[in-house]
Chains A and B, each alone.
Chain A
Amino acid sequence: MTVPFSYNIRNLVVRKTTTVMTAFGIALSVAILVASLALVNGLRTVFANTSNPLQLLVLRKGGNSELGSTVSIEDFAIVRSKAGIAVDRSGQPLTSQELVNVVNLPSLDNPKGMNVTVRGLSPVGIEMRKVRLVAGRWFQPGQREVVVGKAMAHRYPSARIAHRIRFGKGDWEIVGVMDGGQSALNSEMWGDFNQISADYNQQDSSSSVLIRATDPVSLDALKHSIEDDPRLNASTMTESDYYQSQTASGAPLEFLGIFVAVIMAIGSGFATTNIMYAAVARRGKEIGTLKALGFSEGSILLSFLSESVLLAALGGVLGCLIALPLNWVTTGVGSMVSFSEIAFRFHVGIAALSSGLIFAVVLGAAGGALPARAAAKKEILIALREA
């Protein structure tokens, strides 16, 4: 049997100032770790929600970004004629020729301007995505009109309905706001494919072609058919893979967050060790008494280790609570693929919180191991003579 847990809890309560200070130090490490994980989770959620598993993105051969890709009108025609492509209600194949570019807009976070994605597409391109209009109306063909994503409208003061943005060969009016759920589409600005192509003098090509297969088997066949077609200078990526590759944009931030959390954790670990050594030194007589009553070295070790873990777990819970409000925070990162900003909400999920708590518990166990061992190894008589 072990020393009652109430002994450890009450000792933490008795020295509440040091308990709170140590727990707070651990809480900061945990909060940073959880925030880093929540950032990547948020990005992952955004990109996962952007893609349809049956959709294939056709790019220039060797291309991995829409921005640097060119697909000719002739290639589009060949792709469109392939078997296995799903059709809409009117029997037209679900293929969308799209032109992607970036424009610089001043944002709330960066008044000097950030790149945002402008996508030229036709109505079928809208139909192929899960978006809905939440304000205003859709752009008209042949007009310099754009619809902006919800996150963009929120983060860029100049991207509001009725505002005008200058790019291409003139001013473009914002006529609507669309909501693509938790997806990267909320960070884009959409306009008529032909009008945008004309403004960028790219009438004979597009950046990419989005196609939807009828089923997963057709998707695979379609992929091989396009890539193996000697007439085409094209490669393909599933829409999921394309956006998945953009999740890497958060990797430097994730690395930085985890790095800072680990550095802070080392400091917190030493603080925990120090606090627990002080507790062991101060409670020498109690340790001697417990041993005299018959508690074994193992029981004493477990008791002090539990106390350290409990202290760290307290910090872990506090850290999770500090990080929890991030769930309502929207931020943006520059995508290394689209060279534009992707807005997303931090996602503090069960996995991030569990990781934070496990991190704290490991920290407590590591920090408390040596002091707990020192407590267990104390000679009874020496311990009893301590103050």
Chain B
Amino acid sequence: MDIVIETRKLSKDYMRDENPVAALKDVDLQVACGEFLALMGPSGSGKSTLLHLIAAMDRASNGEVLVLGQDLRALNNRQLARWRNAHIGFVFQAFNLIPVLTALENVMLPLKLTGLDAKEQLEHATTALELVGLRDRLHHFPRQLSGGQEQRVAIARAIVTDPDFILADEPTGNLDAASANDVLTLLAALNNGYGKTILMVTHDPHAAHYAKSTRYLEKGVLLPEGQAPQDWMANSTSAPLPSRWVALSETRPGPQ
């Protein structure tokens, strides 16, 4: 089984008010080719930090990140930028589409860094948008799209370069239940139908159900396979987040 992502004794420390805070502690993780792994844990557990280190958006304090066998520490900023473009598709929680560009132009952005000519870029971007079901929204600006459609454009942008793996950071965090299901179904289809390796950070158990496997982080430590933080799980439900928010708001006293 080919290993796409591997971390060895990976640690990340931050300084907060002149005090060191350990965001990640000696994380050893392996993600195999074709896997759809959900990385779960409570807020502040280090999920996003781990994702950012794998995406080469941040540098580790200690340990190694080997992606496709490449030690990311050996690359300078310029090489890392090229590397991100060539190997990673990143899906953000807040979609992060460029508001002044159309859906098609947003999807074409990563292709600007490839050797494709303008016609090929257009064909690739159109195909990617077709794949996410937005063939009829090519020339719409992000403000003209719903949240779910925006996230689907973001997914099209993530897959348009045919990256080796997709990193998704709370991809359903800003979506309603129906849109969240659409996006998760799409990610699952990319994994099942196209064999895309996906690492998804979420704290929504419902979202994690779409993944093939789940690993948990607690206070910067990656728990052994099959083990979850008990306190947090007890407070978590399998319902999608928005439904839980509705339920939560109903239990709170309203204005007097």
Binding site for B on A (CB under 8 A): 1-4, 6-7, 10-11, 13-14, 285-286, 288-298, 380-381, 384
Contact = CB atoms under 8 A, between A and B. Distances in A.
Contacts of B236: none
Nearest to B98: A286
A381 B100 contact: no
Contacts of B112: 1-4
8 contacts: A4-B108, A285-B94, A289-B96, A292-B57, A294-B83, A294-B85, A294-B110, A380-B58
Nearest 3 pairs of A and B residues by beta carbon: A294-B85, A10-B100, A289-B96
* B contacts with A: majority SS: helix
Nearest to A380: B57
Given A294-B82, A296-B81, A384 B96 contact: yes
Given A3-B109, A295-B85, 9 more contacts: A1-B112, A285-B94, A292-B84, A293-B84, A293-B113, A294-B82, A294-B83, A296-B81, A384-B96
Interface of A, helix, strand, loop or mixed by DSSP: helix
A165 to B, nearest CB: 67
A5 to B, nearest CB: 11
A381 B57 CA distance: 7
Interface string B86-121: 100010101010111100010011101100000000
Nearest to B108: A4
B142 to A, nearest CB: 11
Contacts of B94: 285
A298 B84 CA distance: 16
Given A290-B109, A293-B84, A294-B86, A7 B98 contact: yes
Interface string B168-203: 000000000000000000000000000000000000
B19 interface: no
Interface string B57-71: 110000000000000
A270 to B, nearest CB: 26
A1 B108 CA distance: 13
Contacts of B108: 4
B55 A292 contact: yes
Contacts of B57: 291-292, 380-381, 384
B252 interface: no
B16 interface: no
Contacts of B249: none
A83 B84 CA distance: 85
A11 B141 CA distance: 13
A294 B77 CA distance: 10
B219 interface: no
Contacts of A285: 94, 96
B105 A4 contact: yes
Contacts of A3: 109, 112
A298 B157 CA distance: 22
A373 to B, nearest CB: 14
A289 B98 contact: yes
A52 to B, nearest CB: 59
A3 B77 CA distance: 17
Interface string B133-172: 0000000000000000000000001000000000000000
